């Protein structure tokens, strides 16, 4: 069960106010950065306006959990102050995340994201509305890939700016974190796709995908990136990494549960997507390991079925519950959260930052969207 708000509200409030201010600065940095590049694109040709308008909309809002971990990590390493470059680094993480979402939605054939049509569906609809020639879906996917590529390049611009005024050693350390994050995230995405076509039901593979596609770049890398900017000690950076592995995994496990059992009006995306795409999550692999012959047949029949019906989705959800897989994932989230919070309690950081990182870890674990 999630902890009571009352147990830590008095300690968390100063951080929440400070974090809200940091996130507002990140929002502004993202907006200004996207607007500046959008002007360049429109100067090339006014026909690029639909692309810049959609990216401007998509770049607004979101949970900003990566940005918050980055600024908290930076403050923890610098005694509570926000080091120069922290906002740009946090904005770079958010632009990288947006690129990953746009490309992920293309690969997963997803229809909705954050309560609106995904980028490729949006551009396909634009094509249809104007009665252009050719296949609207092919056009939509092509434009979405380019839009995601733009976000990737813009994130690199921001990370360069974050470390521009630092000494060579700090710049190299920061770029090393950034480079590793990019490589691991793409590697995790590839393993996710490979697991779908191989129909692999392996807990080991599911753990690899979870760790590298999402967990480390959601928590661990943002904390470490901020820690490098703040001049954090090796001991602190190692502790940040450990928080990343535990809280990051809890975040992704919660995401897997929400992807099947969540409320689409709250999560902003259909619950059918993960099952239809045949995601071999730890939730699914745990169910497969415990399933009877009949239950395994249900999983094999419906996982990865592009024509998945509501009845098929209900059948899969019943297996996930009846095998105890959903409960096991909940217990794992609770264990990982407790481990992460123990690490946070031992951090050599100011009290406000410690309370703030605790708050972020709990948000990862118990969120509803």
Instruction: Give the pLDDT confidence score for residue 359 in this predicted structure.
Output: 94
Which CA distances in Å does 223 have to 65, 217, 342, 355? 11, 9, 16, 15
Q: Does the pLDDT of residue 74 top 90, yes or no? A: yes
Taking residues 69-85, report their average pLDDT.
97
Has this prediction a pTM greater than 0.95?
no
Residue 142: how many other CB atoms lie within 10 Å: 14
Ranges of each domain in the chain: 5-366
Q: Give the mean pLDDT of 133-143.
A: 97
N-term to C-term CA, the chain: 16
- Under DSSP, the state recorded for 220 is I
Helix, strand, coil fractions of the chain, as percent rounded to 5: 80, 0, 20
Mean pLDDT, rounded, for 326-351: 96
What is the average pLDDT across 328-352? 96
Structure tokens that stand for 91 in this block = 């904005």
CA dihedral 251, 244, 75, 349 (to 10 degrees): 110
What confidence category does residue 268 fall into, taking pLDDT thresholds of 50, 70 and 90?
A: low
Q: Which CATH class name applies to 5-366?
A: mainly alpha
pLDDT digits (tens, 9 = 90+) for 162-217: 999 999 999 999 999 999 999 999 999 998 888 878 766 677 888 888 888 888 99
Question: CB–CB of 151/95 below 8 Å?
Answer: yes
Are 89 and 225 within 8 A, CB to CB?
A: yes
CA separation for the pair 231, 237 (Å, rounded):
10
Give the least confident one: 69-73, 102-106, 198-202, 308-312. 198-202
User: Across 212-333, where does the E strand assignment appear?
Assistant: none
For residues 239 and 116, give the distance between their C-alpha atoms in angstroms, rounded to a whole number: 38
In the chain, the percentage of residues whose pLDDT exceeds 90 is 73
Q: What is the pLDDT of residue 5?
A: 42
* Tokens 């100063």, residue located: 14
Looking at the predicted structure, is the pLDDT value of residue 1 above 70?
A: no
């Amino acid at each position: 069960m999630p902890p009571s708000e009352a147990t830590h509200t008095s300690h968390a409030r100063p951080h929440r106010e400070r974090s809200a201010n940091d996130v507002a600065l990140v929002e502004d940095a993202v907006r200004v950065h996207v607007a500046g590049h959008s002007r360049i694109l429109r100067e090339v040709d006014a026909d690029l306006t639909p692309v810049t308008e959609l990216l401007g909309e998509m770049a607004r809002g979101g949970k900003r959990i990566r940005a918050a971990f980055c600024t908290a990590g930076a403050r923890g390493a610098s005694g509570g102050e926000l080091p120069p470059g922290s906002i740009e680094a946090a904005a770079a993480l958010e632009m990288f995340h947006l690129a990953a979402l746009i490309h992920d939605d293309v690969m997963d054939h997803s229809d909705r994201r954050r309560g609106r049509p995904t980028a490729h569906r949006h551009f396909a609809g634009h094509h249809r509305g104007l009665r252009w020639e050719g296949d609207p879906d092919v056009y939509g996917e092509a434009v979405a890939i380019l839009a995601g590529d733009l976000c990737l390049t813009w994130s690199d611009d921001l990370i360069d700016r974050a470390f521009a005024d630092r000494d060579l050693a700090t710049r190299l350390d920061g770029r090393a974190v950034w480079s590793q994050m990019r490589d691991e995230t793409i590697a995790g995405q590839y393993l996710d796709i490979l697991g779908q076509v191989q129909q692999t039901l392996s807990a080991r593979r599911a753990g690899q995908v979870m760790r590298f596609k999402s967990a480390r770049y959601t928590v661990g890398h943002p904390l470490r990136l901020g820690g490098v900017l703040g001049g954090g000690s090796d001991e602190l950076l190692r502790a940040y990494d450990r928080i990343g592995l535990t809280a990051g995994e809890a975040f992704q496990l919660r995401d897997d549960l929400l992807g099947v059992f969540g409320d689409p009006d709250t999560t902003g995306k259909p619950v059918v997507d993960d099952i239809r795409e045949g995601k071999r999550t730890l939730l699914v692999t745990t169910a497969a390991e415990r399933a009877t012959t009949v239950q395994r047949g249900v999983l094999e029949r419906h996982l990865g079925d592009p024509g998945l019906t509501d009845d098929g989705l209900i059948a899969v959800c019943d297996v996930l519950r009846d095998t105890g897989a959903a409960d096991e994932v909940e217990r794992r989230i609770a264990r990982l959260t407790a481990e992460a919070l123990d690490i946070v309690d031992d951090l050599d950081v100011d009290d406000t930052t410690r309370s703030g990182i605790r708050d972020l870890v709990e948000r990862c674990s118990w969120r509803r969207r």
